[in-house]
Amino acid sequence: AQSVSQHNHHVILSEAASLELGCNYSYGGTVNLFWYVQYPGQHLQLLLKYFSGDPLVKGIKGFEAEFIKSKFSFNLRKPSVQWSDTAEYFCAVNAGSNYQLIWGAGTKLIIKP
Amino acid sequence: DAGVIQSPRHEVTEMGQEVTLRCKPISGHNSLFWYRQTMMRGLELLIYFNNNVPIDDSGMPEDRFSAKMPNASFSTLKIQPSEPRDSAVYFCASRGGTSGTYEQYFGPGTRLTVT
């Protein structure tokens, strides 16, 4: 069965630290990959997506993610985090022609001011 | 575009009562998804519709839950009778059929509390 794994459930960083959140998926075919962010008390919002082309994808608020097909990974990065980045981050994968997104369990990120 | 609209935003009800959650997807979107989010179980897909037809309802917890999509601009999720363990945030999301990139757009959610 297709699955998405997010390695860290909780991450605590200080402001200005660099961030990398891991995401691995299990599917051997063509995939669309997504990172969503959920700020406290809010709904999920699309942060960035990979559909095709350049495997390094840039999203909103200075986030980027790199699709490494050989590693089945789509890690999220930000060179310098801010307190306002405190949120939960979800990785999701669409595999094949299925309408669904397969979701990771989420990573709660806390940025200490 | 107003985005996905959900109502009510908050619902507090007593155990045994019927609860109806409503969703209006983004105009032109042809797929609609109902999710439930709790601290214990995270984000769970309950059901999704394509062109108003339920495609996969395997995530619906039990017969107390039902969902309908009578037309392209409206969907309901009903819980009857409600139980305290149904307390959660329920999100509706929609997806555009012609976008080709499968991203889903979420509504603000309905926070349900069953006492």
Nearby residues of B95 by Cβ (< 8 Å), 6 or more positions away = A99, B29, B30, B31, B32, B33, B102, B103, B104, B105
Pairs of residues, one from chain A and one from chain B, whose beta carbons lie less than 8 Å apart:
41
Q: How far apart are CA B3 and CA B24, in angstroms?
A: 9
The stretch A6-11 carries a mean pLDDT of 92
Provide, as residue numbers in chain B, all residues whose Cβ is less than 8 Å from the Cβ of A105.
42
Q: How far apart are CA B30 and CA B28, in angstroms?
A: 6
A103 in Cβ contact with A85 (< 8 Å): no
Q: Convert the pLDDT of each residue in A41-82 to its tens digit.
A: 999 999 999 988 999 999 999 999 999 999 999 999 999 999
Cα–Cα separations (whole angstroms), residue A83 to A12, A16, A20, A39, A113: 11, 9, 16, 12, 6
In chain A, the residue whose alpha carbon lies closest to the alpha carbon of B47 is A100
The stretch B48-72 carries a mean pLDDT of 93
* Amino acid A113: pLDDT: 85
Q: How far apart are CA A106 and CA A90, in angstroms?
A: 4
Token pair belonging to A80: 């310098």
* Amino acid A31: pLDDT: 86
The stretch A14-29 carries a mean pLDDT of 93
Q: Convert the pLDDT of each residue in B77-89 to its tens digit.
A: 999 999 999 999 9
Q: In 3D, which of B10, B41, B39 has the Cα closest to residue A40?
A: B39
Q: List B residues 6-25 in contact with A (Cβ-Cβ < 8 A).
A: none
The verdict on a CB contact (< 8 Å) between A99 and B50 is yes
pLDDT tops 80 at residue A96: no
The verdict on a CB contact (< 8 Å) between B56 and A100 is yes
Which is higher by pLDDT, B1 or A20? A20
The verdict on a CB contact (< 8 Å) between B103 and A46 is yes
The verdict on a CB contact (< 8 Å) between B100 and A100 is no
Residue B49 in contact with partner chain A when CB distance is under 8 A: no
- Indicate the pLDDT class of residue B101, thresholds 50, 70 and 90: low
- Tracing tokens 């709904």 back to the chain, one arrives at A43
Which of B43, B101, B102 is the closest to A103 by Cβ?
A: B43
B90 in Cβ contact with B38 (< 8 Å): no
* Amino acid B2: pLDDT: 78
Q: For chain A, list residues whose CB is within 8 angstroms of any CB belonging to chain B.
A: 32, 34, 42-46, 49, 51, 90, 94, 99-101, 103, 105-106
Q: In 3D, which of B45, B54, B52, B50 has the Cα closest to residue B97?
A: B50
Token pair belonging to A100: 């669904």
Q: How far apart are CA B63 and CA B54, in angstroms?
A: 15
Residue B5 in contact with partner chain A when CB distance is under 8 A: no
- Indicate the pLDDT class of residue A30, thresholds 50, 70 and 90: confident
* Amino acid A54: pLDDT: 94
State percent of chain B over pLDDT 90: 83
- Indicate the pLDDT class of residue B45, thresholds 50, 70 and 90: very high
What residues does B113 pair with on adjacent strands? B12
DSSP string, B51-108: TTEEEE-TT--STTEEEEEEETTEEEEEESS--GGG-EEEEEEEEETTTSS---EE--
